[in-house]
């Protein structure tokens, strides 16, 4: 299905939506850092106020990734460009694992959002040219529902929990397995197929949307530096 976008176009509406996710993520992570440093008490692992926010933030990220991949495929972007971006994501995922192991050796991130995206983007890239809209939606629904009833202890190890069919959530600071989250990314791709033909040309960006779009275009770089900056700022504040 062809989307009405020229080959080299970049719609800042998608970038701005990704920018919203980045701002929300920053507020969430800064709140986590504040409680970790003892500024206030909160349970980020069980309190629905925080766990629901995390779910929404990750969902928004993966929806945007699904939309972006659907647009890329429709524009005919080749595998070399895909692999360059994929290598950046996979490399950053390894850095996240190393950094989290240094800070949280007992609960380091072995398969977080970047690890999940690295795997899911390959799956999505392979599937999109081959699946119609109905099949895409059916597969998305299956991905979302299978973890509800298909669980097994064999998936509870660090080497296998990336699949997502665990009997209990692993002890880790971030966990975004392929199932059910691939379903969210597939929904993003299906949404792009349905919405894009119905959207008019983007209007000129105002300051707010332009700023969010700029942040969205540099989302990976921002993701990698925002926590060290936030944590460093808090440490400096405590030392003054």
End-to-end Cα spacing for the chain? 58
Each residue's pLDDT tens digit, 157-214: 999 999 999 999 999 999 999 999 999 999 999 999 988 776 766 676 788 989 999 9
Q: Count of CB atoms within 10 A of residue 228's CB?
A: 10
pLDDT the model gives residue 5: 42
Classify residue 205 by its DSSP letter: P
pTM of the model: 0.90
pLDDT the model gives residue 101: 92
pLDDT the model gives residue 196: 74
As beta bridge partners, residue 146 has none
Question: What are the extents of the domains in the chain?
Answer: 12-239
Classify residue 204 by its DSSP letter: P
Q: Evaluate whether 5 touches 74 at the Cβ level (below 8 Å).
A: yes
pLDDT the model gives residue 6: 41
Distance CA 128, CA 190 (A): 9
pLDDT along the chain (240 residues), means of 10: 47 91 96 90 93 96 95 91 96 95 91 97 96 95 94 94 95 95 97 80 78 94 94 85
pLDDT the model gives residue 10: 66
Q: Count of CB atoms within 10 A of residue 239's CB?
A: 6
């Amino acid at each position: 299905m062809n989307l009405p976008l020229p080959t080299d176009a970049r719609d800042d509406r998608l970038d701005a939506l990704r920018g919203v996710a980045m701002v929300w993520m920053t507020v969430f992570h800064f709140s986590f850092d504040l409680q970790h440093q003892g500024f206030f008490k909160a349970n980020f692992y069980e309190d629905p106020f925080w766990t629901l926010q995390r779910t929404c933030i990750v969902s928004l990220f993966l929806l945007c990734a699904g939309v972006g991949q659907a647009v890329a495929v429709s524009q005919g972007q080749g595998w070399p460009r895909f692999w360059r971006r994929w290598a950046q994501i996979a490399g950053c995922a390894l850095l996240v694992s190393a950094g989290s192991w240094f800070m949280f050796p007992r609960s380091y991130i072995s398969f977080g959002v970047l690890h999940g995206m690295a795997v899911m983007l390959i799956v999505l890239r392979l599937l999109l040219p081959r699946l119609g809209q109905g099949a895409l939606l059916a597969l998305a629904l299956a991905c979302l529902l299978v973890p509800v009833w298909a669980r097994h202890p064999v998936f509870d190890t660090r080497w296998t929990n990336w699949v997502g069919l665990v009997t209990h959530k692993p002890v880790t600071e971030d966990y975004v397995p392929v199932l059910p989250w691939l379903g969210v990314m597939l929904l993003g791709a299906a949404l792009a197929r349905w919405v894009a033909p119905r959207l008019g040309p983007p209007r000129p960006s105002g300051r707010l949307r332009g700023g969010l779009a700029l942040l969205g275009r540099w989302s990976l770089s921002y993701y990698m530096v925002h926590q060290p900056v936030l944590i460093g700022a808090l440490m400096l504040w405590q030392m003054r």
